[in-house]
Amino acid sequence: MLVAIARRLLSTLITLFGVAVVIFVILRLLPGNAITASLGVSAGLLSHAQITQLDHFYGIGESPVSQFTSWLGATLTGNLGVSLSSQKPVAGMIAQALPVTLELGIMALAIGVLLGVFFGVAGALRPGHIGDLAGQALALVGLAVPSFVLGTALVTFMSSTFHYFPSSESYAGLFANTWLNLQQIFFPACVLGVGIAAAIMRTTRAAVLEINTQNFVRTARGKGVSERAVVWRHLLLNALVPIVTMSGIQLGYLLGGTVIIEEIFVLPGLGRMLVTAINNRDFPVVQSVTMLFAAGFVVINMLTDVFSAVIDPRSKDR
Amino acid sequence: MSSLQQREAAGGPQRELAVGASAHRRSKAQLLRALWISKSGRAGLILVSLVVLGALVSVAGLSPHNPQAQSTSQVLKGPSLNHLLGTDQFGRDIFSLILEAMGVSLEIACIATLIAGVLGTLGGIAAGYLGGFASTVILRAADVIFAIPAILLALAIVAALGPGIMNSALAIGIGYIPIFVRVVRAPVLSLRSADFVGAARVLGFSRSRVLLHHILPNVYGVVAVQVSLALAWGILAEASLSFLGLGPPPPTASLGEMVYSATSLSGIAWWTLAGPSAAIVLAVLGFNLLGDGFRDATDPRTRRS
């Protein structure tokens, strides 16, 4: 199994390298260069000597390959460059925004997994029953209602009907004002959570339905194991691998979703930072944040694979 | 199909071949019937027809009002018989605007799906049939694209290329390529060792002929499912991009932009939010259900018998 994990690790590294190349290529297509991005129209007032000097400073005119390797080298050593619009180091900006997005993501994942697993199991045990129908309805909402529509509707409803909109106050840190912070994070997390609950519910329902017909489950019920123990130890434990894998895949959706949700709920996280940076053509920030999102997604998918291999004793034989 | 039938009628070794190749194939009428039998397929067909019809009405210039006509006397009026879904802050008819925006949305989603479908299907067939080094390279590339959350990839590409209908479509389409590669590759892997494919090879058919005439027709089912789902994703992604201000520039109508401008108004005029939101939901739901329906209709494991 160690060999399999090592192989998975290697392929993850190759994928990450590919992601770096793709992001680098996409952002090289941006019109203009670092000079026009940071100075705007006034770049036209620069003298020829100044332009040459700035070209040298930003490394403009070097071959793409050497630009790429110097960017990759700097990124790997933690130097993410300087924001073109705020002149602050990107690493510092990320360090400030990351906890917000992490908290939002973890809470959304928790809500999504709880809702999804609960309705998935309930639906599989009694298909067609009210709980199953409620779960199917929830899945339909999560599938068809885009997070920004749900988010916008929620914000409007809360603020116009109840005059309650915690996000209108400036963002409170988790430790500075825990109660306000939780209120500010809870609603966007619900919106994202419903979105991922749909897929997790479908996966759980299908897995439990299949396991429920197997002989060992019938044996357990036949020998008088309590229903609660059957659900927890026989059904859920065996459905864990598909559920974990699906949760990992949904994380990609979650990461993309934070971009829009943070914009709606005015949370100063990575997603909002990315949208602002895209509008400002601030490509050191765009580059680093996109890379971070992709790296997070790839690494978590690798971890879910490893986790699945570890909890599934059958994989030891392979 | 017709050439296959001819060969089937001619008998001989080709006969077996044709039977194998058409095992999963049914005529369009049969497919439609199977789609109609499946509950989600029927709901999806109806919703999608409504959405497409609405867009066509607008393209034909038959919408109840000129979508871009502003009127100072009709600002933010609620739904009425004259303005079915009310008017926006410029006095434009929201229903007509939605129809126009739906056309743009469908256009972008269709181009995006075409890009993803053609490239992804070809990639999937190549990866599944050729194997070896080519397969490794294709799958690795698909993994790389898949690793970047699709909406982020679209954002970055639109930021790089600038807003516009074609650029949005390209940005949205590229992110969906890996999914086509994956779903097409799996059946191709098993088809490669199927008897009728082996027979075709023994008969000395060229590789491209085997791929196009024997393998490709057998993956139409999974491709149809994914085309529906890709259209749903395309509409959703386009709305998200324009919600963030990265859609086609005004005056092109767009659903996401309408939702965005409604955020500040919806407290006093709920219909500015309700109309475009409902349109997005119905379109996304319709294509998703249609995809489920195609799955029911083409996948023998889930087919009702």
Q: Which residue has the tokens 């990866």?
A: B127
Q: Which two tokens stand for residue B85?
A: 């879904």
CA distances to A81, B68, B94, B150, B305 from B238, in Å: 31, 20, 19, 12, 38
What ipTM was predicted for this assembly? Answer: 0.80
- At B81, is the pLDDT very low, low, confident or very high (cuts 50, 70, 90)? confident
Query: Distance between CA A285 and CA A86 in Å, rounded?
Result: 10
Query: Distance between CA B166 and CA B249 in Å, rounded?
Result: 12
Using an 8 Å CB-CB cutoff, list chain A residues near B176: none
Q: Which two tokens stand for residue A304?
A: 């879910």
CA max distance for chain A: 88
Q: Which two tokens stand for residue B161?
A: 């290329």
- Report which residue type is found at A172: A
CA distances to B27, B120, B221 from B298, in Å: 12, 20, 5
Query: Distance between CA A91 and CA A201 in Å, rounded?
Result: 37
Q: What is the pLDDT of residue B39?
A: 81
Query: Distance between CA B277 and CA B280 in Å, rounded?
Result: 5
Residue B187 clears pLDDT 70, i.e. is over it: yes
Residues of B with CB under 8 A from a CB of A: 140-141, 143-152, 155-157, 159-162, 236, 239-240, 243-246, 256, 259, 262-263, 266-267, 270, 273, 277, 280-281, 284-285, 288
Checking phi first, is residue A102 left (phi over 0); if not, alpha (psi -120 to 50) or beta? alpha
Return the number of CB contacts < 8 Å for A and B: 122
B-chain residue closest to A286, CA distance: B156
What's the CATH number for A90-317? 1.10.3720.10
Q: What angle do CA A122, A123, A128 make, to 5 degrees?
A: 130
Q: What is the pLDDT of residue B120?
A: 93
Using an 8 Å CB-CB cutoff, list chain A residues near B147: 15-16, 18-19, 294, 297-298
Q: What is the pLDDT of residue B3?
A: 41
Q: Do A155 and B259 touch (CB under 8 A)?
A: no
Structure confidence by residue, pLDDT tens digits, A243-280: 888 888 888 778 888 888 988 888 888 988 988 888 87
Residues of chain A with pLDDT under 70: 1, 29-45, 55-62, 163, 165-170, 174, 314-318
Q: Which two tokens stand for residue B253?
A: 């109508």
The residue with greater pLDDT, B43 or A165, is B43
Q: Do B266 and A253 touch (CB under 8 A)?
A: no
* Domains of chain A by residue range: 2-76, 90-317
Structure confidence by residue, pLDDT tens digits, B106-135: 999 999 999 999 999 999 988 888 888 888
Q: Tell me the pLDDT of chain B averaged across its residues.
A: 81
- At B303, is the pLDDT very low, low, confident or very high (cuts 50, 70, 90)? very low
- At B11, is the pLDDT very low, low, confident or very high (cuts 50, 70, 90)? very low
Q: Which residue has the tokens 């349109």?
A: B279
Q: Using omega within 30 degrees of 0 as the cis cutoff, is the peptide bond preceding B251 cis? A: yes
Q: What is the pLDDT of residue B96?
A: 86
Structure confidence by residue, pLDDT tens digits, B225-259: 899 999 999 999 999 989 888 888 877 788 888 88
- Closest CA–CA distance from residue A316 to any residue of chain B (Å): 25
The residue with greater pLDDT, B170 or A252, is B170
Q: What is the mean pLDDT of residues B292-297?
A: 83
Best CATH choice for the domain B24-65+84-304 from the list 1.10.3720.10, 3.40.430.10, 1.10.10.10, 1.10.760.10: 1.10.3720.10
- Report which residue type is found at B285: L
A-chain residue closest to B152, CA distance: A256
Query: Distance between CA B280 and CA B286 in Å, rounded?
Result: 10
DSSP code of residue A230: I
* Domains of chain B by residue range: 24-65+84-304
Q: Do B156 and A260 touch (CB under 8 A)?
A: no
SS3 B44: helix
The residue with greater pLDDT, B182 or B81, is B182
Q: Tell me the pLDDT of chain A averaged across its residues.
A: 81
Q: At what angle do helices A283-311 and A2-28 cross, to 10 degrees?
A: 160
- Closest CA–CA distance from residue B279 to any residue of chain A (Å): 10
Query: Distance between CA A290 and CA B155 in Å, rounded?
Result: 10
CA max distance for chain B: 77
Number of other residues whose CB lies within 10 A of the CB of residue B206: 10
As beta bridge partners, residue B87 has B93
The answer to whether residues A289 and A280 touch, using CB atoms and an 8 Å cutoff, is: no
